[in-house]
Structure formats: structure tokens, C-alpha cells
Structure 1
Amino acid sequence: MIKHNDRTKHANIEVNLNKLYEQVLKAKADWQNTFDSISDMICILDKDARITRMNRSFSARMKKPYESLLGARCYEAIHSTCSPSTCPFSAVMETKQSIRNVMEIQLGDAVFTTSLFPFFDAESKLHGAVYVFRDITDQKALENKLLQSDKMAAIGTLAAEIAHEINNPLDYITNYLYLLSESLPPEFGKREYLKKIEAGIDNLAALTRDLLEFSRPQIDIFVPLDMHRVIDESLEFSGKYLQEKQVKVIRDFGCRSHRVAGSVRMLQQVLLNLILNALDAMTNGGTINITTFCRKSHFVLEFADTGIGIPEANLPRIFEPFFTTKKNFEKRGTGLGLTICYNIIYQHKGEIHVSSRAGEGTKFTISLPLHHEEKGPVKQHIVEY
């Protein structure tokens, strides 16, 4: 009887142990699933700054196998350096205090803000730290757009004031130069000087026109339009210049859904500006490649030339007002053309980017939201830049 009771007791203990083991496994699995469900990158570090655990987002973003990251020091795995000076881990261990948003780091195309939290056990002993990375790429992009918008508004106000101040004396100079040239005898031998003055006045007049266009709000109606037709018409307008410069145009239209909501006039202004810039960059002929395709409900246009290209150091400034790479006085631009292009695409809720290498040509990539048919009247857009 006693032996039977002992067997029963042992059996019950075994059942309870199995249940407890299953509960532990489930709790562990639930914890890991919860850990892996967090979109932020998280890793847990021991006292030596070695990674002891990480969530799925961390290993995926680092693009390294879980096993190769496990046991690596955080500054080696994250900052690719053997020096711990770049990592705030030591400060957390010394102060036992959290450090939030301590720095921004870039991993691939994404930007992250980092925070560290001290990691204590049940007895309040410090075991290490929890390293958290939050993706702020979209936030940084929005901040940059707002900054660009504020800067453009301020520059636009200044541009309008400058244009008005220049226009009045420019009219006087133009009129008196005409009277002077008419009063000179036919045998006057320095008329080339007058032509140089006229060229300078023309450049100033072009600058004031661009300044006023840059500063004035443009009112236009956005309607569904065929972007392929907009491209074709822009090339027709430029046909004479393309032939004179012996520039060949290759079109590769790949986006079937090529309707966007926008202004034909404004989008043609963008394309004509890109075409004229490309012609200036190809003094001995060349090729313009125009490619279109669809990507994530957006119409994408790639405009590439085989010109002299843009030095890498100039690329971050290419859309800034008054920045120009043209050194020839007669061909020197006002530096507002690409800024106006940028603002037009921005007002169409799109994006424009540039890539280039000196001597290898330049490529502009424009992305615009595809139009989806909706009932109701077309809205009027007041476009300001």
C-alpha cells in the first residue's frame, strides 16, 4: 500500500514538473515573441558590453547572423570600432542612470536615435544595460522638409524685395544705354563694349525675372494628366535646341499607370529646366535617357544625361537658391532653376533627387504620387515658393 502511494506521489510530482516545464517553455516563448514583436532594435549587454540577447529587428537591421552578433561587444558590432569611446555604455554602468536619445547613428539608409537603460536583476544588482535604437528616418525627412520650406519662404520674401530694388535702376540704365548707343557716330570703334554692357544688363534682367518668379505664389489647378504626354510635349518644345547640340533622346516608358494629379505648365517647366541644363552640360553632343516606371503607387521618372557631371562636393547644394556650377559669364545661370524645380515637385507631393559623378553625367530622379480617380470637383492649389 505504501509503495503504491509512493508511486502515485512520484507520478503526481512528475506530472506537475512536466506542467511546470511546459509553463516555463511557454513563458520563455511568449517573452521572446514579445521581444521580437518590438519594431525598435534592442540588444541586452552584460557588464563587459557584450551582446547576450537581441530581438529580431536588431539582427535584421544589422544584416548579420544572430550567432555572429552574440557575444560581440556593442561598439564592435554597431560602430565597427575597437574603441569603446564611441559607445555610451560605460557612462550608464558608472552612473546606473538611463541615457535617452544620446546620439544619432546611421545604419544603411536609416537614421536611429539611441537610448541605454541599466539592467538590474531581482536583487537590484547591476548586470549590464539594455540598448534601444528607434528609427527616426521619417521624422528627420519631415524636419528637413519643414526646414527647407521655412528657408524658401524667407528667401522668397528677400528675393522679391531685391528684385524690386534692382528693377527700377535697371530700367534707367537700359534706357540711357539705348540713347547713348543711338547718339554715337557710326564710325565709333568701341561698340563691343556696349554689347558687353548689354549682356550684363540682360543677365541682371533674367535674375530679376527669376527672383520674382521664385517669390510669387503661383496659382494653378491640379488635374489628372498623362505624364508621358507631358514628357513628349516638353521634348517637342526643345526639339530645335536638341538638334543644334546633336543630342539624342532615348525614351523608355515602362509605367502603365502614368497619370498623376498636377499642373501641366509647372511640370513642363521642371522638364524644360532639366533639358536645358543637360544641353549646357553636353557641349559636344551626347545622349539624354528618359526612363519611367511605377514604384509603390508612385510614378518615377529618371532623367539622365552623358554630360560633364557634377562634382560630388556640390551635390548637397544643388537645389539651394543661387547656387550654380556654370562658370561661363554668358551662360551663367541665376542659380534658381533647380530650386524652383524642387519646389514644384514638393508642391506636387513628390520628391526629386540627383546623383552624379564628374565626367560621367548626371541623373535626376523624380517621384510623383499616381492619381486615383475620385468623384467630386478638382481642387484648386495655390502653389507658393
Structure 2
Amino acid sequence: MISFLLYKIEIRIEMKRGSRVMTKGWLGFGSLLYLYSAAASANLLNYFKEEDGSTKWQYVANFSSSILIITLSLVLIKLFISQRRLERVNRQLEQVRDGLEQRVRERTATLNGYNELLQETNSLLEGEIEQHRQTTTRLQSSEAYLYCIIESMPLVLIGLNRHNTISHWNRLAELASGVEREQALRHNLWEIYPAIPLSTTQLEAVLQRGKPETIKHCQRGHYYYDIMLFPLRQSEEEGVVILIDDVTQRKLSENRLIQRDKMASMGELASAMAHEMEVPLKEIVAAVKSATESLEGSGSHFEQTRQRLIEARERGEQAFTIMRNLLDFAREYGDNRHHIQMTALIDHTLELAASLIDEKSGVRFSDIETIRHYAVQLPTYPCYHSEMQYLFLTLFRHALCAIARVRREAFVPTLTVEVAFHYDALWLKIQHNGVGMSSDEQNTIFEPFYLDGESKLQDHSWQRLSLAYFIITEHHRGQIAVTSDINIGTTFHIELPLNSYHTH
């Protein structure tokens, strides 16, 4: 029995910590004990009986004390083993605790390092965020500033990409085209602004050359534009920037200054020429007059000579008249306007033209029948007297040249001058029945004329009236137009607003 108990102890010592292994050990020990007790119970009971059947209490006591001692020994051994196991477990737990504490300390140190690194990273990130915020603010400010500059530019600014799609469209572009910025962006330029004086070929040429180009676009007397094209090749996408500068006022001012300088120079030149011509003309006229008087009463042979001298004297007197007119032109020209009666100025100019203007073909202005239609009670007009007189002389000379070209029989040269007052303006119409102008001549009549080598011996100045056009449109803020027919004649229509003196 003791051996079985020892076997049980060894089994329990070697048992695993799992409950299933321990349960199997106890079941095996119980089964063995039951089999042994069943087989030995009869012998064991006989051992404690006397032959007469009485109980051997001494044996019972010894056996019980042995059993008790063995049980106590087993309990002590159990307690000792449990103590040893507990100490080993405690040591293992202490080792585990020390390991855990070390790992906790290491993890804590690592976490502290990570926390410090995270704080540094957060600080750097906050700094980056602040710099990004400042950069964003500066970029927004710069973008707003550039937008204000673009919108405030006194130029039409249009930005195009490589496919001629609009990327920029400022305020003046809206005013020029009548299309708002939101409607123009991301659309083709010629779909939005078909009237722009540019072609795709010009834009392609600028992109290929990679150099800015300036294009002049104008309609004489109405508008002048400088169109500047700038290629964009350094950006992510190629494109062109179009700047349209309305230089109409500047050009007109420059033209006015140039023409006024020309007029002033003409006045100085006229004065110098008149003074230079005065002395020899006086001597020529006096000599011709004396020779004419000495030939009076002579024979027929001298009559032809006398007629030639009379004609020479008339030409000399005509030269005197031209000289006096040049002096008047030089003396009266200035920066101040004078109120004049327009009909009186026209009458005086007609008289002057009759003595000054003639044609090489022999036709004189005095041979033209003059018809005048003047409205009554016409107001005075503030103008530059010498310029206006030059204007009428130029138109009368043009009429004489056109009349001299007529080859019709029974032709009566006629010049009609009409003056009326309507809508706060004087309306003048000067009409002649000479050879009219073609459509091309009407389109170029107010353009400057330049002589070439072949035509320098011919007088073509009457075919151009650019200075007359300038005097009317620029110095007097009026309008002049022409209508003509080859077989009927030509009519010049002039409008002179009375308020031009205040708006000049």
C-alpha cells in the first residue's frame, strides 16, 4: 500500500500544470487503489483479528499511527515540494517581472524618445505650416496685386495658350469686345472677339521667332492702335500675350503738333519769300510799266510788244497779290481764334482766287461762273482765319483744275457755294461741274501725296487735300466729305460745329 502511495506522489510530482493531466493521474491512482483494496481487504481484516475473532487493538493502533505518520510525511513532502515549486515560480515571476519592468523601462524610454521626436516634428510641422500660411498669404497678395495691375493697365490685355484659347481677359478687353471675363475665358479668341485685327498666322510667326512684335493698325483720322505680341516660352505651356494700346489721342496730338509746326514754318517761309520777292518784283513792274508807256503811239510792230509787256505787268501784279497774301498768312497765323463771318471770308477768298489762280491751259478762275447761296442771319464762327482762307483757296484750286480738264462743247464752268446753319453747326457745300473723281480717287483724296521721279514735273497737288482735311478735322473739330461723279462733277461737304472752340 505504501508503494502505491509513493507511486501516486511521484505521479502527482510529475504531473503537468494542465488540469486534464492531473485529472487523469488521480483517476489512475483511484482505479489501482480500488483493485488492490478489493483483493486485499479480506487478508487485511484477518490481520487485525484474533483466532477467537476478537480485534487486535494494538495492531489497529500501530497501523493507524503508521498510516497517520505516512500521511503526515506525505503532507510534509507535499508542502515541501509545493514550497519549492512556489519558490521556483516566485523566482520565475520575479524574473518575468524584472523582464517586464526592463521592457517597460525600455519601452518608456523609447516612447519618451518618440514623444520628444514627435514634439520636434510637430514643432517643425507647425513652423512649416506657418511658413506655408505666410507663403500662401504672400502669393494671394501678389496675385491680387498682379490682378489689380492687369485690371488697371490702360491697355487691352489678352492672354492665349498654344491653341489660341483665352487665359487672361482684363477690364479694357471687356469694354472693347463687350464680352465679360467669365464668358471669354477658356474660349477661342476669334469666337469671342472676331473683330480683333489679328490673324492666327501672325500669332504663329511670333511663337516661332520667339521675339516680341509690334503691329500698327489705324484708320486715318479715326483711330490708331499699337498691337504688341509677346511670346511665352518659359512657362509650362506656350502662349502669347496680346497688348492693344489705343494711341489715337496721342497720335492725333502728335499730328496736330506736327501740322502746327508745319504751318508755323510755312508762315515763316512765306514771310521770308514775300520780303525777298518784293524788291525785284517792284523793279520788274516799274520797268515794264515804263516800257509800256514809252511804246504808246508807235506802229503795229510795237503793238505786239506792248501787249506782251501789259501781260507781263499783269503777271507781276498777280505776283504782288500772292506776296501780300503770303504776308497776310504769316502775319495772321497764331494760336488764337477769331470770330469771323464765314460768308465774308468766302467772298474775300473768291475775289482773291480770281486774281491768283489760273491754269497752264489758259483757264482762269475769273472765267468760272460763281453761284452763292447763303442763309440769312448766320452766326459768326471762331476759327483760324488764315487756315480757313487757305482751305477755301485749296478747294477753289481743285475746282479750277477739274474744270480745266473738261473737253465738252458749250460747257459753262460753274462753282456753287452754299452756307447754312443747322444743329449748332455751319454746313458748307462747295460744288463744281468739272471732271469728277473715281472711287479710288475719292478714297485717297484726303491722304498725303508724295512725288516720285517720273511725276515731279507735273502738278498733282490738287489731287490731294490732306492739309485741308487736317485743318477741318483737327484744328476745328469738324468733318469734311466728298461725293463725286465723273460726268457731273464734285461736291465737298463741310460741317463746322460752333462749340469746337470750347472743346478744342
TM-score, normalized by length of structure 1? 0.58
Query: What is aligned with 1:245?
Result: 369
SS in 1 for 2:157: strand
Q: Counterparts of 1:215 and 1:368 in 2: how far apart (Å)?
A: 26
| Further displaced range: 165-174 or 363-372 | 363-372
Q: Counterparts of 1:164 and 1:72 in 2: how far apart (Å)?
A: 62
SS in 2 for 1:126: coil
Return the match for 2:159 from 44, 50, 59.
44
Cα gap change, 1:61/1:339 in structure 2, threshold over 3 Å: closer, same or farther? closer
Q: Given that residues 231 and 268 in structure 1 are in contact (C-alpha distance below 8 angstroms), is that contact kept between their aligned partners in structure 2?
A: no
Q: Given that residues 51 and 72 in structure 1 are in contact (C-alpha distance below 8 angstroms), is that contact kept between their aligned partners in structure 2?
A: yes
| Further displaced range: 184-193 or 356-365 | 356-365
Query: What is aligned with 1:315?
Result: 446
Residue 34 of structure 1, CA deviation: 10
Q: Counterparts of 1:206 and 1:239 in 2: how far apart (Å)?
A: 14
Q: Given that residues 89 and 129 in structure 1 are in contact (C-alpha distance below 8 angstroms), is that contact kept between their aligned partners in structure 2?
A: no
Return the match for 1:106 from 218, 222, 225.
218
Q: Given that residues 291 and 302 in structure 1 are in contact (C-alpha distance below 8 angstroms), is that contact kept between their aligned partners in structure 2?
A: yes
Return the match for 2:324 from 209, 212, 224.
209
Return the match for 2:254 from 143, 158, 163.
143
Matched, 1:285 2:430: no
Letter in 1 for 2:303: G
Q: Residues 144-183 of structure 1: matches in 2 within 5 Å?
A: 144-183=255-294
Cα gap change, 1:271/1:131 in structure 2, threshold over 3 Å: closer, same or farther? closer
1:204-231: CA deviations, max 9, x gaps? 22332222223224589867x5x7xx24
Cα gap change, 1:183/1:152 in structure 2, threshold over 3 Å: closer, same or farther? same
Return the match for 1:134 from 234, 245, 251.
245
Residue 176 of structure 1, CA deviation: 0.9
Q: Given that residues 304 and 364 in structure 1 are in contact (C-alpha distance below 8 angstroms), is that contact kept between their aligned partners in structure 2?
A: yes
Cα gap change, 1:196/1:62 in structure 2, threshold over 3 Å: closer, same or farther? farther
Cα gap change, 1:270/1:181 in structure 2, threshold over 3 Å: closer, same or farther? closer
Return the match for 1:196 from 311, 332, 342.
311
SS in 1 for 2:278: helix
Q: Given that residues 40 and 132 in structure 1 are in contact (C-alpha distance below 8 angstroms), is that contact kept between their aligned partners in structure 2?
A: yes
Percentage of pairs with the same residue: 19
Q: Counterparts of 1:136 and 1:51 in 2: how far apart (Å)?
A: 24
1:39-81: CA deviations, max 9, x gaps? 63332211134556645754764699988x9425699864465
Counting strand residues as a fraction of each chain, which structure ranks higher?
1
SS in 1 for 2:447: helix
| Further displaced range: 211-220 or 167-176 | 211-220
Q: Residues 1-385 of structure 1: matches in 2 within 5 Å?
A: 40-51=155-166, 54=169, 57-58=172-173, 61=176, 70-72=187-189, 78-79=196-197, 84=201, 87=202, 90-91=205-206, 95=210, 99=212, 102-106=214-218, 109-118=222-231, 124-184=235-295, 185-187=298-300, 188-190=302-304, 191-217=306-332, 230-233=341-344, 245=369, 247=371, 249=373, 251=375, 261=382, 269=389, 273=393, 280=400, 284-285=413-414, 287-294=416-423, 299-308=425-434, 311-312=441-442, 313-317=444-448, 350-351=477-478, 353=480, 355=482, 357=484, 359=486, 360-368=489-497, 370=499
Q: Counterparts of 1:218 and 1:143 in 2: how far apart (Å)?
A: 19
Query: What is aligned with 2:115?
Result: none
Q: Given that residues 259 and 371 in structure 1 are in contact (C-alpha distance below 8 angstroms), is that contact kept between their aligned partners in structure 2?
A: no
| Further displaced range: 231-240 or 210-219 | 231-240
Largest Rg, 1 or 2: 2
Cα gap change, 1:300/1:39 in structure 2, threshold over 3 Å: closer, same or farther? farther
1:327-346: CA deviations, max 9, x gaps? 9xxxx9x99xx999889879
Q: Given that residues 473 and 480 in structure 2 are in contact (C-alpha distance below 8 angstroms), is that contact kept between their aligned partners in structure 1?
A: no
SS in 2 for 1:316: coil
Q: Counterparts of 2:373 and 2:491 in 1: how far apart (Å)?
A: 15
Residue 174 of structure 1, CA deviation: 0.7
SS in 1 for 2:216: strand
Cα gap change, 1:214/1:88 in structure 2, threshold over 3 Å: closer, same or farther? farther
Letter in 1 for 2:318: N
Residue 186 of structure 1, CA deviation: 5.0
Residue 146 of structure 1, CA deviation: 0.8
Q: Counterparts of 1:275 and 1:141 in 2: how far apart (Å)?
A: 23
Q: Counterparts of 1:57 and 1:44 in 2: how far apart (Å)?
A: 13
Cα gap change, 1:339/1:141 in structure 2, threshold over 3 Å: closer, same or farther? closer
Q: Given that residues 206 and 230 in structure 2 are in contact (C-alpha distance below 8 angstroms), is that contact kept between their aligned partners in structure 1?
A: no
Cα gap change, 1:172/1:63 in structure 2, threshold over 3 Å: closer, same or farther? farther
Letter in 2 for 1:48: H
Q: Given that residues 48 and 73 in structure 1 are in contact (C-alpha distance below 8 angstroms), is that contact kept between their aligned partners in structure 2?
A: no
Cα gap change, 1:139/1:130 in structure 2, threshold over 3 Å: closer, same or farther? same
**Alignment RMSD, CA only?**
5.3
Residue 172 of structure 1, CA deviation: 1.0
SS in 1 for 2:249: helix
TM-score, normalized by length of structure 2? 0.46
SS in 2 for 1:301: strand
| Further displaced range: 32-41 or 355-364 | 32-41
Task: Give the aligned length.
Answer: 308
| Further displaced range: 103-112 or 137-146 | 103-112
Counting helix residues as a fraction of each chain, which structure ranks higher?
2
SS in 1 for 2:303: coil
Higher relative contact order (CA 8 A, sep 6+): 1
SS in 1 for 2:267: helix
